Amino acid sequence: MPGPVEMIQKKLGVPASGHWDPITLGALAAFQAGQPALVPSGHPDVPTLALLGYYDPLQAVDPKWAGYVKGGKRPSTFGRDLASASNQAPQWAWLGVGVLLLGVGFWTWKKSRKA
């Protein structure tokens, strides 16, 4: 099975040596120069690898959102929004709220036992 460098060399149409040689860097820079959104650096950055078809960027996304990007139903954002809202308060504040609620719960339990 060819390695990642050999796969990129094959997609660029250069001899597959398996090493980042000057021919590969030149071919990659030429490929990048032919794409309007890329900077011709000769380095395999994420947009370059995606345009070469080396990997699918949707593989790095949650499958629910990848389905939405492909035209599916939009997933719910309730859990994400709740988590981001809860991150606005520091942890010590949440600890204080928890201790307060435990205290209120104990107080009401103790009061109900007297009745």
Count of domains observed in the chain: 2
| Model confidence pTM above 0.85 | no
Q: What average pLDDT does the structure give for the chain?
A: 87
Q: Does 73 reside within a domain?
A: no
Is 56 in the same domain as 82?
Answer: no
Closest Cα to residue 24, out of 38, 7, 42? 42
Checking if the pLDDT of 104 tops 70, the result is: yes
Tokens, residue 5:
């460098």
pLDDT tens column, 24-70: 999 999 999 999 888 888 888 888 888 888 877 777 778 888 888 88
Q: Does 69 reside within a domain?
A: no
Domain of residue 89: give its range.
78-114
Q: Which of 61, 88, 104 is the last residue of a domain?
A: 61
Burial class (CB in 10 A: 0-12, 13-18, 19+), 88: exposed
Is 51 in the same domain as 100?
Answer: no
